[in-house]
Chains A and B, each alone.
Chain A
């Protein structure tokens, strides 16, 4: 896997991620303590894992520390994963467990008792991981909205402001805010829930190419 060690720009890293992140090579790279593989796996999963930890831990720094701890353990200890595809749920569970440790250490166990009980249920974890992935996709889709539309949508759904408050803050008419919110909803649904129209994605092309080269 020669392209692993060479210089890559960010978009290359992204291609690498979607094309080969779940491959055995990545797993071997992690087991061989390959710094570059660690960096890329970390960068790829960071948003998902951070947002998960952040949901349970009050501070940003704590949430980041939890993710760091999980990866440092991966670096320091041997781990056995049966299949590369299990990597994501392995990391996700490790972050959840680490959050539980954190909450217990901070003697917040009682207040978080219900949360923790849910977190140890298998079925809840599966749903939660799926939800988190949807939220991550929503985040990226929101970032791709036109500027004004994005700002209005964030104020409404991230900050919980009412249309009239948003209109006042941005010096716009309420009508404009409503229109932009409608545009945002329509675009988000089209981007996230409608079936893709592209017959073959760039990532698939790359995969195909790599396969052809290897054959």
Chain B
């Protein structure tokens, strides 16, 4: 330790070297010399001793926690009227309840439709984006349809992904949670960005920042940044998708990263990112690994690189790419 230059560095030195007897004796006489010294020492000691306990506050992300609490609150509210229906004894009750629920839902839907003006947007061959009334942005991939209100009314912000894939960049507002409805599934968010892809009976969600909750009937799963999940809309099963990664956003970002990725997986990612079909020659190994990064590259560029890396031919014909062994001449 170097020689202290003022009271603070002297106290720091004493606090950090309790085993140094000469120093502690020096401290004792310094403290005895002046009441102001004792007061300063008492205060600095208090801060010094309490500071390690302040570390727990680092884990407390109040806005995010509030978002999670509000989701719970909403689920609680939703659950309340359902309870008496479930506890009723007769067997025809569930059916009647379902009919009633559908009727109420239909009524509510009709009611909300008359109140809120909805706008539908569909993309065909080109991606597009939508700016919502609250400043949130939705980027639509090719062949996607979204329905959103011209202005948000009521206690929640809600949009509907009818088909295809979209990336959502939602502005934070703890009081008005944001919900993406896709078929029977719902994704509850607060302020975050994430990708949703609805194809047939599968809904894939991947979170880039923040966190979301994917809900389908009684199932619900919380996802953090960097996590993905898929929801089967027929069975209602929601499971974590460990293969999900930033490559799922490549259709928009044009950033692709392959680390020990099998050819099979590379082809799936490319077909998703560039909206093409990949056809693999059955004679080639699907397991050969690729390590490569592509940033802002066009599909022909990537295919050229792949041709050089693998000794296969990647040939594009319209929207289909054929991968085959080189033809020997």
Contact between chains at B65 and A50 (CB < 8 Å): yes
Contact between chains at A178 and B73 (CB < 8 Å): no
- Tell me if A's interface is mostly helix, strand, loop or mixed: helix
Contact between chains at B9 and A178 (CB < 8 Å): yes
At the interface, yes or no: A134 with Cβ under 8 Å from chain B? yes
Q: How far is the CA of A144 from the CA of B66 in the complex (A)?
A: 23
Instruction: Tally A residues with Cβ within 8 Å of B.
Output: 51
- Tell me if B's interface is mostly helix, strand, loop or mixed: helix
At the interface, yes or no: B12 with Cβ under 8 Å from chain A? yes
CB-defined interface of A139-168 with B at 8 Å, one 1/0 digit per residue?
110100000000001100110101100000
Instruction: Tally B residues with Cβ within 8 Å of A.
Output: 39
- Nearest chain-B residue to A71 (Cβ)? B69
At the interface, yes or no: B199 with Cβ under 8 Å from chain A? no
Residues of chain B within 8 A (CB-CB) of A10 are: 63
Interface-forming stretch among A22-30, A34-42, A85-93, A205-213?
A34-42
Interface-forming stretch among A103-111, A116-124, A179-187?
A179-187
At the interface, yes or no: A54 with Cβ under 8 Å from chain B? yes
Contact between chains at B9 and A36 (CB < 8 Å): no
At the interface, yes or no: B92 with Cβ under 8 Å from chain A? no
At the interface, yes or no: B125 with Cβ under 8 Å from chain A? no
Q: How far is the CA of A139 from the CA of B76 in the complex (A)?
A: 33
At the interface, yes or no: A113 with Cβ under 8 Å from chain B? no
User: What are 5 A-B contacts defined by CB distance under 8 Å?
Assistant: A39-B69, A46-B66, A50-B57, A51-B56, A76-B76
Give 11 new A-B contacts, CB below 8 A, not counting A38-B73, A43-B62, A55-B53.
A44-B62, A51-B60, A64-B68, A131-B50, A135-B53, A136-B54, A136-B57, A142-B54, A153-B51, A178-B2, A182-B12
Residues of A bordering B, CB below 8 Å = 7-8, 10, 35-36, 38-39, 42-44, 46-47, 50-51, 54-55, 60, 64, 67-68, 71-72, 75-76, 131, 134-136, 138-140, 142, 153-154, 157-158, 160, 162-163, 174-175, 178-179, 181-182, 185-186, 188-189, 192-193
Closest 3 CB pairs of A and B: A139-B57, A51-B56, A158-B55
